[in-house]
Amino acid sequence: MALKYLHTMVRVKDLEKSMAFYELLGLRETRRKESEGGRFTLVFMAPPGQEDCPVELTWNWDGDEGLPSDSRHFGHLAYEVDDIYATCAHLQANGVTINRPPRDGHMAFVRSPDNISIELLQAGQALPAKEPWASMENTGHW
Are 5 and 55 in contact by the 8 Å Cβ rule? The answer is no
Number of H helices, E strands in the chain: 2, 8
Q: Are 115 and 13 in contact (CB under 8 A)?
A: no
- Give Cα 55 to chain centroid, integer Å: 9
Angle at 46 between CA 74 and CA 28, to 5 degrees: 120
Query: Looking at 23, 36, 119, 137, which residue is catalytic?
Result: 119
* Residue 119: active-site member: yes
Q: Which helix (H) or strand (E) holds 40?
A: strand 40-46
Q: CB within 8 A of 31, min separation 6: which ones?
A: 43, 44
Residues that are catalytic: 119
